[in-house]
Structures are given as structure tokens and as C-alpha cells.
A and B are shown apart, each in its own frame.
Chain A
Amino acid sequence: MTDTATPLYNPQDLMRAQVRWRMLETVFWVSALLPFFVAETYLVLCTQIAIAALFALSLDLLVGYSGIVSLGHAVYFGIGAYTAGLLAKYGWGEPLSGLLLAGLVAMLFGYLISFIMVRITHFALIMVTIGLCLLFEEFGNQAHDITGGHDGLQGVRMWRLFGTFRWDLYGFTAYAYSLVVVFLCFLVIRRIINSPFGLSLRGMRENARRMPAIGAPSKQRLQIVYTISATFAGIAGGLLAQTTQFVALDALSFQRSAEVLVMLVLGGAGRLYGGIIGSIIFLVARDQLASNNPQYWYFWLGLLLILVIIFLPNGILGGIAHLLSRRKKS
């Protein structure tokens, strides 16, 4: 960065260099297959991690790449979960089409709500996202006949995947299914981020006023990315409903919105793998720490948040990148 006299890059080369698939990424995704062989008892946890990673990725599109704060992203997660759950409960248990519909319904809500979101900024935006999240949670609670309220949505029955694979007790099918879906979504998100559109999002994050001046209409693009983000959050929610065959009201809650944000910030927002790493660390830590008492898990969660914000403002991946660049310099 210090050497400004380097020859000018061809912008297309720059974009191509970003898209290139790195060795470490291949290693990472291949190792995601390991639980099938070495940690069969943890497949349920691995499924949860895969789902949380997708949810965090969807939020990263907003928080990390576009600079839109959201403390209520669970709205779309919950909408996706209830869509998939209700479909399966009332007779359509086919997983793939159910998942697609979950994404589409979340997309529709995301599109409608995006009109509100692009109008406001800063403190009011945080407030409105919290407000919307509480609104939907309260609605889910009150609409007891549809959602089951606090008892959760019972009686979700999934059909066999492709008509052949049973949803087994150990979660082989669930993990394989989630992993494939999450990987495909990851590829799409990766492509979006490394496209010119993705670059313009980062431009808006850095300077929202200048982007329209150089020919990129901010509001329209923010609406698009908001809708995309809501869609992926909905797919993540749908996955959770299908693999657990149950939807808790918790899927819509403010706590879940806060948790996903913690995962993202923990791993590093604005980095493709930040949300994924964050969700792995977060859920493994919760699995270890919360087994005795959920009340004390809050203590560790809060402490983790405070420490990360104070000492690692760019998350774990940001901290590692910082260390590496310092090493290179010296």
C-alpha cells in the first residue's frame, strides 16, 4: 500500500485475481467433509454450523460489504423457517422446492422492507431493525394458531430427499444436504461479491455520497443487496426448519439477530470467510460452555463480544491478516 508508484492495474485483471480460487479455500471445503468420517456424533452440531454460516454470510452482504447495520436480520431467517416448516406441516414435504419457496418468500419480504431501509441511516436504522424484529417476533407469538407461538411449530414432516434418502437420526442426510446447499449459496455470494456490482457495494460502504456522483445509484443497489441478503437468510432458516423438522419462535427473535451479528463480527465482517469461521467458533464454544446452564452462556457470550470489539475490531480473520501484513513488511 505504501508504494503508490506501481504500474496501473488493468481493472479486469484485478477482478479476475479476486475471483481466482485459492488453495486454502479448497482445503477448507474439503475438510468440511471430514465430520462424516471422524465426528459422526457431532453431525447435528455440524449441520447447525453450516446453517449459521450461511445466515452469517447473508448478513455479511449487508454489514460487511455494504455498510448497512442490521440488528434484526432474524426476521428473514424466521420467515424462511416458518415458510419451509408450514409447507411441510400442511402436506408438501419435498425439501428442495420447499427450500426454494422459503427463499422466495423471504426475498419478497426483504424487497418490501428494503424500501424502508434505504431511507434511514445510523441510530434510526438500528432502532428500526430492532423494532421490526420485535414486531415479527410478537406477531409470531400472537398468531398462535399458525405458528404454534412459544411452543414452536410441531408436526413438520419432511419427505425423503430426492425420494430416496431418509432423514436419519445421526444427521448424515441433514448434514450432506445442508453442506451442499450452503456451498452452492456460498459460490453465488462469492460471485456477487467479486462482481462489479459487489465492488460498487464496497464503494457505497466507504462513501455513500460519492457513489451516485460517479454513476452508481446507491439506493437502488442497496435495495438489491438487501433483497439478496434476505433471500439467503430465508434459505438458511428454511434449512434449519427442514433439518430439525421443527420451528421454534426463537428463529425470529432479537437474540438470534444479535447472535448472528456476534458470529460475523467475531470472525471478521467484510471477509468472505469471516462469518463461517465466526459461526464455527461460536457454536463449538456454545456447545462446550452452555451444556450446564444457558444463563451463564450469556456471560461468556457478552465477554466474548466485549473482548472482540475492544481488541479485535476487524474480527479474528482481520487480526490474522494484520499480523501477516506486519510480518511481510519487516
Chain B
Amino acid sequence: MIARQISLLFDGFAYGMLLFVLSIGLSVTLGMMNFVNLAHGAFAMIGGYVTVTLMQKAGWPFLATLPVAFLGAAVASVVLERVLYRRLYRATDLDQSLLTIGIVFVSIAAAAFIFGTTQQPIELPAYMRERIVIGDFSFGAYRLFLIVSALIITAVVVLGLDYTRFGAQIRACVDNQRMARGLGLNVDRIFMLTFAIGSGLAGLGGAMAIEIVGLDPNFGLKYLVFMLIVVAVGGLASIRGAFFTAAMLGIIDIFSKYYAPQVGSFVLYLVMVALLVWRPNGVFARR
């Protein structure tokens, strides 16, 4: 009994780490530019389709496709940022939401047109499909891979933000954009790079998510809610907050699906609304 709960906890944590990788970029860009980017999930979907295409059509190994998924999403996001997003930095929340929802709708139709509406299967390498057995417990190797990668990404992001020059510039822009501009920082350029990295991470997350949650044209809309919960509850531009929220979200979701499947996502949405009403700036908000 305990063994089952521990493995549920493990699965939930792995799922949470996946959500963390998917949402961390959204958190930082939203905190920095106050830009409501509801198309973040679409970038994740791009990453997923890059991996699927490379594996199915070109026969690449799974791990080799991940950097390409990162790059694909990052490049796509920079193009959109240059062409569309930058026109709306001073616009209202509503206009920003609508523009990015429009992008999500186009991405759904485009993905359906190119890849069809079915779920995309991928074949993981054998060593990732194994189960690791320790005493009474057994863990999926792939979930272990997810957790380890997410922890590495977290470490890189946190250390990068705290100890590099670029990280300091990002923090300055998040804390006070006007002041940063006044001190001579090129905020637009910093934002573009941050946006690219954040979207790239989303693409990476999208590629790693295929094995867990699948990939279809609605991916961008389906998982947007989870990403927004992580960001909204975790607090804008708070890595720590996003990490804890994502971990909790993954664990709650797995446990509720296991023990109370009839309730569905109801509890999740209820908790999210309650937390947001209680603390509109996020439970772990810095400001």
C-alpha cells in the first residue's frame, strides 16, 4: 500500500517537473514584460512535433532530437516576437490575450493540416522504457530521466539568473523595467533572448511530454491551463514558486486521477481559483 503511494508520489513529481519545464519560460517573460502570452503552449507543441518528425522521418535517436526541439521553438518564438508581439507591448491585457489566443488557434489548424489530428506515437530507446526496481518499489526509467533533467534545468536557470551578467540584467528588467532602461540596458534585446530561451524550454518540455501525455494539435490549448496555473499560483518570475507549484500540481493531479477519477480536473480548477482569489499575485510572489 505504502509502496503504491510512493510510486504515485514519484510519478506525480515527475509529471510536476514536466510542467515546470513547460511553464518556466512563461513565468519569466510574463514577469519581465507583463506580456500575457497565451501562445506559450503552442511553442511547446512545436518542440513536440520537431521531435516526432525527426524520429519518424529521419530516424534520429530521441535524445539527439531534444536540442533541435529547443532550437525550433526558440527560433519560432523570436520570429513571432519580432513580427507580432512587439507591436503590443504597451497594449492592454485583453489585446495581448486575444492576439496570442489567435496564434494558438492558427497553430491548432496548422498542426492538424500538416500532421493530422491523431495522437503522435514515438518509440523511446529501450533503456528508457525499463522499470527500475528497488526492493518493493519500481520506478519508470523515463520518469527518472524527467526528474533528473528538470533538476539540472532548474539548477542551470537558478545559477544563471543569480551568478551571470545576463542573469543580473534579466533580474534588473523584471524588478524595474524603466530603471533598467534608464541605466542603459537594452531591454528589448534582453527580453528577446529571455523569450527565446523560455520558449525553447517550452519546446523541450513539449518534446519530453509526448511519452507522458501524448501530442495532438490541441496540445497548446490543453496544457495552457496547467502552465498558467503554475505561473499564476507560483508568482511571476519566481523560479522557486514555479518549482513548488509545479511539483504540487503534478502530485495532486496524479493522486486525484488515481483515487477520485470521477471528479476529474474539477478540484484542480477549484483550487486554482481559490488560491488566485486569496493571493492574486501568486502564493509565492516576491512582490
- Listed in ascending order, the chain A residues whose CB lies under 8 Å from chain B are 63, 69, 71, 116, 119-124, 126-128, 130-132, 134-135, 138-139, 141-142, 258, 261-262, 265, 295-299, 301-306, 309-310, 313
Bound Cα distance A40, B269 (Å): 44
Closest to A71 in B: B97
Chain B: number of interface residues, binned into ranges: 35 or more
B103 interface contact, C-beta 8 A:
yes
Contact check, B265 vs A130: say whether CB atoms are below 8 A apart.
no
B164 interface contact, C-beta 8 A:
no
| A residues near B272, Cβ cutoff 8 Å | 127, 131
Interface string of B83-124 (1 = CB under 8 A from A): 010011001111101110111111111101100010000000
Return B71 CB to nearest CB of chain A, in Å. 24
> Are A302 and B104 also in contact (CB < 8 A) when A120-B276, A132-B273 are?
yes
Among A124, A142, A265, A299, contact of B98 (Cβ-Cβ < 8 Å): A265
> Are A296 and B266 also in contact (CB < 8 A) when A120-B280, A309-B88 are?
no
Contact check, B264 vs A142: say whether CB atoms are below 8 A apart.
yes
Within 8 A of A (CB), among B258-287: 262-266, 269-270, 272-273, 276-277, 280-281
Contact check, B280 vs A121: say whether CB atoms are below 8 A apart.
yes
> Are A306 and B88 also in contact (CB < 8 A) when A69-B93, A123-B36 are?
no
| A-B contact list, 10 entries, CB within 8 Å | A130-B225, A258-B101, A298-B105, A298-B109, A302-B103, A302-B104, A306-B84, A306-B103, A309-B95, A310-B87
Among B91, B94, B105, B262, contact of A299 (Cβ-Cβ < 8 Å): B105
Bound Cα distance A296, B232 (Å): 31
A-B CB proximity, top 8 nearest: A302-B105, A305-B102, A299-B109, A302-B106, A124-B280, A135-B269, A306-B102, A302-B102
Contact check, A128 vs B264: say whether CB atoms are below 8 A apart.
no
Interface SS of B by simple majority: helix
> Are A295 and B113 also in contact (CB < 8 A) when A120-B276, A135-B270 are?
yes
B151 interface contact, C-beta 8 A:
no
Return B218 CB to nearest CB of chain A, in Å. 10
| A residues near B101, Cβ cutoff 8 Å | 258, 302, 305
Contact check, A304 vs B102: say whether CB atoms are below 8 A apart.
yes
Bound Cα distance A130, B264 (Å): 17
Return A72 CB to nearest CB of chain B, in Å. 10
Return B177 CB to nearest CB of chain A, in Å. 16
B30 interface contact, C-beta 8 A:
yes
Contact check, B276 vs A128: say whether CB atoms are below 8 A apart.
yes
- Listed in ascending order, the chain B residues whose CB lies under 8 Å from chain A are 30, 34, 36, 84, 87-88, 91-95, 97-99, 101-110, 112-113, 117, 217, 225, 228, 232, 236, 262-266, 269-270, 272-273, 276-277, 280-281
Bound Cα distance A299, B110 (Å): 7
Beyond A123-B34, A142-B266, 12 extra complex contacts between A and B, CB < 8 Å: A120-B280, A124-B276, A124-B280, A127-B276, A130-B225, A131-B272, A134-B265, A139-B266, A258-B101, A298-B105, A301-B105, A304-B102
| B residues near A313, Cβ cutoff 8 Å | 91, 95
Contact check, A142 vs B97: say whether CB atoms are below 8 A apart.
no
Contact check, A138 vs B30: say whether CB atoms are below 8 A apart.
no
Bound Cα distance A29, B131 (Å): 69
Residue among A130, A134, A262 having the largest count of chain B Cβ atoms under 10 Å: A130
Closest to B88 in A: A309
Residue among A69, A142, A297, A298 having the largest count of chain B Cβ atoms under 10 Å: A298
Return A176 CB to nearest CB of chain B, in Å. 34
Return A110 CB to nearest CB of chain B, in Å. 16
Closest to A262 in B: B98
Contact check, A130 vs B228: say whether CB atoms are below 8 A apart.
yes
Return A62 CB to nearest CB of chain B, in Å. 11
Return B108 CB to nearest CB of chain A, in Å. 5
| A residues near B280, Cβ cutoff 8 Å | 119-121, 124
Bound Cα distance A305, B92 (Å): 15
Return A63 CB to nearest CB of chain B, in Å. 7
Among B30, B110, B270, contact of A123 (Cβ-Cβ < 8 Å): B30
Closest to A134 in B: B269
Contact check, A142 vs B95: say whether CB atoms are below 8 A apart.
no
Bound Cα distance A258, B97 (Å): 10
> Are A128 and B273 also in contact (CB < 8 A) when A265-B98, A298-B106 are?
yes
Closest to B232 in A: A127
Among A123, A139, A296, contact of B109 (Cβ-Cβ < 8 Å): A296
Bound Cα distance A132, B228 (Å): 14
Bound Cα distance A134, B264 (Å): 12
Residue among A116, A135, A297 having the largest count of chain B Cβ atoms under 10 Å: A135
Contact check, B265 vs A138: say whether CB atoms are below 8 A apart.
yes
Bound Cα distance A142, B262 (Å): 7
Bound Cα distance A309, B95 (Å): 6
Closest to B228 in A: A127
Closest to A258 in B: B101
Return B13 CB to nearest CB of chain A, in Å. 24
Among A124, A138, A299, A310, contact of B281 (Cβ-Cβ < 8 Å): A124
Bound Cα distance A71, B263 (Å): 24
Return A298 CB to nearest CB of chain B, in Å. 4
Contact check, A131 vs B109: say whether CB atoms are below 8 A apart.
no
Return B237 CB to nearest CB of chain A, in Å. 12
| B residues near A135, Cβ cutoff 8 Å | 266, 269-270, 273
Contact check, B277 vs A120: say whether CB atoms are below 8 A apart.
yes
Return A3 CB to nearest CB of chain B, in Å. 28
| A residues near B109, Cβ cutoff 8 Å | 295-299, 302
Bound Cα distance A130, B101 (Å): 12
